[in-house]
Structure 1
Amino acid sequence: MKRFETITRIAASPATVFDLSLDVDLHTASMADSGERIVGGVRAGRMALGDTVTWEARHFGVRWKMTSRISAYDRPGMFVDEQVAGPFKRWHHTHYFAPDGRGGTVMRDVIEFAAPFGLVGVGVETVALGRYMHKLIDMRNVHVREWAEAASA
């Protein structure tokens, strides 16, 4: 299993960043390069505790579907999305939002994931998937920052 963290500083309140991070429209826009689209569950707006969404996207030249659920929710401090069906053996993403002391937010993402297929999956995690997932989260966070800062301007 792989684990990584990212830190993103955003010039907007934790509540604004929290709400935008749960917005499926923002997520879809941030993943445009992979053609990600919603095929089930919440189809527009902000998700809440217990909500699910099914995404379909193309990664590594293969079309994938993943259903995730918001399994923990403490606005505006944190929420968790985790896979309930899809390509990973495990996907658990905790989003943290803390005030930065200057009116902005320190957003911290903690991602734990495991590929299927035993030792082959571990090899894929090590060689390519870890870097790829980190890049996707970074791209998403750029969108969150841009939308949050525009909303706060």
Structure 2
Amino acid sequence: MPIIELTTQINAPLERCFDLSRSIDLHKISTAQTKEEAIDGVTAGLIGLNEYVTWRAKHFGITQRLTTRITEFKRPAYFVDEMEKGAFKRFRHEHIFETHHSGTKMIDKFDYDAPLGVLGKLANFLFLEKYMTTLLEERNSVIKDFAETDKWKKLLSI
């Protein structure tokens, strides 16, 4: 059970960072390289408690579908999305937000199991953990960019 933990410092208010992190539209922007599309559930705007989204994306040359649901939600400090259907055996992604100096400390805890038993463990060791870490870092970089500039105004009406 690998757990990827990332911390990102953002010079922007807590509420803005929280809402950008649950923006379906921002997620699409941050995953342009995998051509992610929201095809069912909440497909635009902000996702909230007990809502789900199904994504279609291309990873490792294979088109995949992934459905996640927001299972815990406490604005603006914390939310969790968990896989309901998809290529992983399971995953739970905790999004934690703390006021830090003049901005926000955003913490991701991505806890997952690869499918396929021993083969999945080998894939994780060889490339999957690095691949997922890079995806999360790219997503966080886009959140930071939007939060710290006026770009957030295109997506949020705070």
- TM-score norm. by structure 1 comes to 0.96
Distance 1:131 1:143 in 2: 18
Aligned to 2:156: none
1:1-153 equivalence runs, <5 A: 1-102=1-102, 104-151=103-150
Distance 1:101 1:140 in 2: 23
Letter in 1 for 2:44: A
5+ residue gaps, structure 1: none
Distance 2:114 2:100 in 1: 34
Give how far 1:101 is off: 2.2
Residue deviations 1:46-82, cap 9 Å, x none?
Answer: 0010010000101111111000000000111110011
Residue deviations 1:88-125, cap 9 Å, x none?
Answer: 001110000000122x0000000011111111111111
SS of structure 1 residue aligned to 2:12: coil
Root-mean-square deviation (CA, aligned residues, Å) is 1.2
Task: State the aligned residue count.
Answer: 152
Give how far 1:149 is off: 1.0
Distance 1:38 1:77 in 2: 25
5+ residue gaps, structure 2: 154-158
- TM-score norm. by structure 2 comes to 0.93
